Amino acid sequence: MAHPKDHSKIGIGRSIAVLTSGGDAQGMNAAVRATVRVGIYTGAKVYFVHEGYQGLVDGGDNIKPATWESVSMMLQLGGTVIGSARCMDFKEKWGRLKAACNLVKLGITNLCVIGGDGSLTGANQFRTEWSELLADLTKQGKITAEEAKRSSHLNIVGMVGSIDNDFCGTDMTIGTDSALHRIIEVVDAITTTAQSHQRTFILEVMGRHCGYLALVTALACGADWVFIPEMPPEDNWEEHLCKRLIAQRERGSRLNVIIMAEGAQDRKQKPITCDQVKNLVSKKLGFDTRSTVLGHVQRGGTPSAFDRILGSRMGVEAVMALLEATPETPACVVSLSGNMAIRLPLMECVQVTKDVTVAMAEGRFEDAVNLRGKSFQNNWNTYKMLAHVTPPEVKSNINIAIVNVGAPCAGMNAAVRSAVRAGLIQGHQMLAVYDGFDGLANGQIEPITWAQVGGWTGKGGSNLGTKRHLPSKNIEQISLNIAKFNIHSLIIIGGFEAYQGGLELVTAREKYEELCIPMVVIPATVSNNVPGSDFSIGADTALNTITTTCDRIKQSAAGTKRRVFIIETMGGYCGYLATMAGLSSGADAAYIYEEPFHIRDLELNVKHLIEKMKTSVKRGLILRNSNANDNYTTQFLYNLYSEEGKGTFDCRMNILGHMQQGGTPTPFDRNFGTKMGSKSVLWLTDKLKECYRHGRIFANTPDSACVLGMKRRSLIFQPLASLKEDTDFEHRIPKTEWWLKLRPILKILARGPPRMCPPALMFSLPEEPWMCLVQTQGLPEVWRVQ
C-alpha cells in the first residue's frame, strides 16, 4: 500500500515569525499556538516576537525560537502570552530599519501579525518598503549582500484581533465573542439587583468607533435602548427615550436597561455620555438610576470556545498563506466569511474600515451601517423591530402557536420571547403550547403576552416545557385542537424530534385538513444534528460548558502529571460537540460516530500519549461522543488506556451528562435565538398572506412547512420534505456535516511534530490536510449570525 506523501516537509528552509500588536484580545493565544504548531508540522522554523513591534525593533531576546511544547496550556489563557505593546519606534523609518535588520540576521522572511487595523497597516508598510530597507542596511554595512539576497522579499499575513469587531471584511474578529461573554455576565448580575430595586441601569461598553458590542449586547439582554456611533438617535431623542422607559414600566417591567457604546454620539457628532443619560432619566422621570462603565474587564478572562476555534483555524490558514506566497502576492488578511476563511487584500479591507469612520464624520449614518456589512445591518434591524416598534391597536385576527419539542437547551426561551414580541408587533395573537406535542394534543394552549416573556432572553432551559414525544400517535387530537384554538400557523422549536415531528404533521395533511397551515421548525438542540442548518440554538452554550470543564480537568492533570482523562460528551450519533470541544480544549483525540475508528487507531493514540509523556507536557485529554461506537464504549476506552499506559500514565474517566443542557445561554445563543424567532414570525406573516383563500388559511405546498437554518452567511428557509434525502433517520443526523472538514486541524494541532508521531500515525492524516482547511476555514456567521 502506497503511503500519502509526507506533508511535514513543505516548510523546510522557511522561517516564520509571529507577533501580537496593539490591544490584546482573548483568542490571540489560540492563533499563536496554531501558527507555531502548523509551522513546525510543515518543517518551518517558527519564532516568537515578544512585545509586538517593539520587540521586533529591539531584537535580542525578544525574538526567540518557538517549540511545540512552548505553546502548550496556552489555549485557555486570555490576553497574549507573548506580549503586546504600542510601538512609536516602528512608525519611524529608523525603527523599521532595526526591525528589518533583526529579521534578516535570523533569516526570517515570513511575518504573521495578529492585531487591529493599525497593526496590520504597519505590517503592510513594512513589506512595501522592504527592498528599500535592505538596500539601506546593505549600504550601511549592517547586512551583507548575501544576506540581503537570501531575504529578498518579505511575506506578510494578518489576523484581526480586536474585541470591537471593527474591521471590515471579516464577519468576526478574534476576541469579540469573549468580550460579549464578559459583558453579558455583568448584565445578568446587574439585572437581578435592578429588578429588586426597580432601577434603571446604564452600561457603557467598549467601542469608540464601532457599536458592535453595544448592539449585540442590547439584542442579547433585551435592552430598552442602545446608543451606537454608526446610527445616532434622532433629534429630540431624550423625549423618545423617556417615553420608551415609561412604556416598559407600564407593561409590568421592574427595570430598564440602556446600553451605550463609548463612542456614542448625537447626529451633530456631539458625545452622549453615561452621566448625561443618567441625569436625564433621574431628573425627568424620577427613576432610581445607576451607571456602570465596564472598561478593561471586557478584554480579560478566559477566551470563549468560539474565539479559541476561530483563532486556531485562522492560525492554520495564515501559515498556509505564508507558505504559498510569492513575491508578487499582496499582503493579505485572513477573514471570516460565513462558513469560509478567506484571504482578502489587506489594504482594501483597511480602506473600507476607514470609510466607515469617514461616513460617520460626514453624517452619512445609513452608509456607515451598510459599510459595516450585512451582519451588522441585520442586527440593527432586528433590534429596532423588537425594541422600538409599538404593537398596533388593530389586530390581524391571526393566531400563531409556539411549541418546544425534544430535550431542553439554552436559548430556547430567547427564541420564544423574540417570536412572541415580533408576532404581537405584527398584530397577531400569540399562543403558548406547554409540554411539547403532548400539550398540543391535550389542549395545554394559552395566549402569551408581551410582559410574560420579559427577561426570558437570559434564562436557560425551556419555560414552556418540552417533551421528546412525536405527534404521530396523537395526530387526530392535535388536528382537533388546532381547529378548536383557531391556530393559523405553528412555530416548532427543538432538536431532531422537532424536525421529525414537523415531517409527521406535513405527511398527515393528506388526512387532516386542519394541519394545512404554515409551519416553521427552529433548530434548538445541544447536539447540533438538525438537517438544514449549520448551527442549532443551544450548541454554543453546551460547547462552552464542555470547554470550561476540560480546562479544569487539564489543570488537574497538569498538577498530578502523567494522567490521561477520558471524557464523554453528549450528541447522540452526532460528533459535533466532541470535535469542536476537542479543538477548543486542545484534546489529543476525539472519537465520533461519523469517523469510524478501530483497534489500530486506539493503539496509535496510546503510543502517541506514551511519547507525549516523555516531554514536559505530561497529560492527556481524550474525548468520546456518547454514541461513537457500540463496542468501544467510554468504559472500554478507560480500561484500554489504563492497561496500556501502566507504568507510564494513569487514567480517569468523566461522563459530563446533563450539565451540558443547562446553564444560562451564551451571547451567541441569545442572539441566534432572537434572530431566529423574529425571522420565523415575519416569514409566517408573509406565508399566511399567500395561503389565504376564500376566507380561510390553506397551506399544503412543500414550501409552506420549512426549517429555518443558518447556511454559511444567511438564515434561509428550506422545505422539510426537501431535507429528507440529506437525513440519516436511523442515526438522527444529517448526511452532510460541514464541521467534519475541521477534523484534520484537530489531528495536526494535537499529534505533535513528526518526531513525536509514530510514522503510521502521520500516514493516517489526509493526503492534503490543509487543502480542506484552506477551503473551509471560518465559522458559520452566527457563531455568528450577528
Contact predicate 585/75, CB 8 Å: yes
The catalytic position among 24, 136, 164, 540 is 164
d(CA 732, CA 728): 6
d(CA 22, CA 101): 22
Three-state DSSP state, 259: strand
Binding site residue list for substrate: 162-164, 199, 206-208, 262, 290, 296-299
> Strand locations in 338-488, DSSP E?
340-345, 399-405, 429-433, 445-447
Contact predicate 154/109, CB 8 Å: yes
Contact predicate 653/635, CB 8 Å: yes
d(CA 230, CA 211): 7
Binding site residue list for ATP: 23, 86-87, 116-119
Binding site residue list for Mg(2+): 117
d(CA 128, CA 145): 20
DSSP class per residue in 742-774: GHHHHHHHHH-SGGGS-HHHHHTS-SSHHHHHH
> What per-residue string of b and e applies to 84-113 under the rule 16 or more CB within 10 Å gives b?
bbebebbeeeebbbbbbbbbbebebbbbbb
Contact predicate 130/100, CB 8 Å: yes
Strand 429-433 relative to strand 445-447: parallel, antiparallel, unpaired? antiparallel
Contact predicate 479/512, CB 8 Å: yes
CA 639 to chain centre: 36
Three-state DSSP state, 168: coil
Is 24 one of the annotated active-site residues of the chain?
no
Residue 513 has which C-alpha cell? 385538513
Binding site residue list: 23, 86-87, 116-119, 162-164, 199, 206-208, 262, 290, 296-299, 468, 525-529, 563, 570-572, 652, 658-661, 732
DSSP 39: H
Residue 88 has which C-alpha cell? 512609536
Sheet holding 445-447, edge to edge: 445-447, 429-433, 399-405, 489-494, 519-523, 705-711, 714-719
Nearest to 535 by CA among 713, 724, 727: 713
Report the catalytic residues: 164
